[in-house]
């Protein structure tokens, strides 16, 4: 459960996401989270996925076609800071997730950026349902990673305690700058 | 789930502790964790509880007598740094927990201390079963609290990554020095 950021975030996903929920993967990447979300919300729910890179959208669409049992996912090759243009205006989210940084085994020059990341977070927060969670895995080892981490931290630590439970999980005994996980739970 | 340290630690307890497990409450206090552990391990398991204060042992024994369905708990009015004197030599633990600081609504002069806390942690770690967890809620708002937190952090961050997953959860948007939760999972 606490082996790495993926095992922890997938534990939280399984705890929070159920059949019929509406959820968002703000950084589709290779589709690991998208696929898990698709399986959990089933036909009654919906998954929205964003990624700037055609490669990520292509890989993930292929995985959904072959590995998911449900046709419940809409992928957009678009900037997640623009998500309000793509999501139904009244869509409330039970769960949303970011994996910041670059596409694993992709072009490491193409990274998420503090400015658009914080815009996307601010667009997601008002859509969270009660007890819904926004999880943000923040990688700090690459150039620009620490800057993005600090800007996200500044944003989320200012959220009203009466409306959101905001916490962070970090590994203490791992080398090579392990990622940190922000968890924002709507009260 | 992420409302406060108690809701988070009880989530982890329910995830990790099942019927037949052997578990330890290193700081019994008013018995909130002890009672939950007693209910979860049932007749096939066992709970060991330590507290220096007679008041804590008395309150908790009374609660166990009236609120637990099982006679599976042994309470010791003793220093948890001496736990090896009380536990069976071959006892392996699925779960152990500390709530550091003082007894709620008790004498705030009587607090857990860095030296005996770290001795107790070192006695528990070799007893953890694979996938078993040691959780340590560390309160930093009272005199001596920050010193104890830093000593525990120094100890747990030095643990071998091959043997233990070590992490920490902290709240980011709560006032008044919210506690932090260390989580040590045996690999």
Find residue A128's DSSP bridge partners: A93
Show the domain range for B30.
5-181
**Residue B143 within a domain:** yes
Into how many domains does chain A fold?
A: 1
pLDDT single digits (tens) A104-157: 888 898 999 999 999 999 999 999 999 999 999 999 999 999 999 999 999 999
- Sort out which chain A residues have CB atoms less than 8 A from B173's CB and list them: 156-161, 164-166
**Residue B187 within a domain:** no
Its ipTM equals: 0.96
Give the chain B residue whose CA is nearest to the CA of A171: B167
The pLDDT of residue B81 is: 97
CATH of the domain at A174: 3.40.50.150
Q: Return d(Cα A160, Cα A151) in angstroms, integer.
A: 17
**Residue B186 within a domain:** no
**Residue A117 within a domain:** yes
Return the residue in B6, B152, B173 with the most chain A beta carbons within 10 A, the one to mutate for interface testing: B173
Choose among B2, B16, B187: nearest Cβ to A185.
Answer: B2
pLDDT single digits (tens) B48-94: 999 999 999 999 999 999 999 999 999 999 999 999 999 999 999 99
Return the residue in A16, A121, A136, A173 with the most chain B beta carbons within 10 A, the one to mutate for interface testing: A173
**Which of A40, A27, A15, A41 lies closest to A116 in space, CA to CA?**
A27
B133 touches chain A (CB under 8 A): yes
B187 and A3 within 8 Å at the Cβ level: the answer is: yes
**Residue A187 within a domain:** no
**Residue A186 within a domain:** no
**Residue B170 within a domain:** yes
| Contact criterion met (CB below 8 Å) for B144 and B102 | no
Q: What is the pTM of this model?
A: 0.97
Handedness of CA B96, B138, A135, A141 (dihedral sign): negative
Contacts of B131 (CB under 8 A, 6+ apart): A1, B16, B185, B186
DSSP characters for B88-154? -TT--EEEEEEE-SB-TTS-TT-B--HHHHHHHHHHHGGGEEEEEEEEEEE--SSTTHHHHHHHHHH
Q: How much is the average pLDDT of A5-15?
A: 98
**Residue B105 within a domain:** yes
pLDDT single digits (tens) B126-183: 999 999 999 999 999 999 999 999 999 999 999 999 999 999 999 999 988 999 999 9
């Amino acid at each position: 459960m606490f082996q790495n950021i993926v095992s922890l975030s997938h534990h939280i996903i399984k705890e929070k996401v159920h059949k019929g929920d509406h959820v968002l993967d703000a950084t589709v990447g290779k589709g690991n989270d998208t696929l898990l979300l698709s399986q959990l919300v089933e036909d009654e729910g919906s998954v929205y996925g964003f990624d700037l890179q055609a490669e990520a959208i292509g890989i993930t669409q292929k995985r959904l076609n072959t590995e998911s049992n449900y046709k419940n996912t809409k992928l957009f090759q678009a900037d997640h800071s623009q998500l309000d243009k793509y999501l139904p205006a009244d869509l409330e989210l039970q769960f949303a997730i970011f994996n910041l940084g670059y596409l694993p085994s992709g072009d490491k020059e193409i990274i998420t950026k503090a400015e658009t990341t914080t815009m996307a977070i601010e667009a997601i927060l008002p859509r969270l349902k009660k007890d819904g969670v926004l999880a943000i895995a923040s990688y700090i080892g690459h150039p620009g990673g620490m800057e993005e981490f600090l800007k996200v931290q500044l944003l989320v630590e200012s959220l009203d305690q009466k409306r959101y439970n905001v916490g962070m999980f970090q590994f203490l005994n791992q080398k090579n700058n392990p990622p940190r996980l922000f968890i924002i739970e709507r009260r």
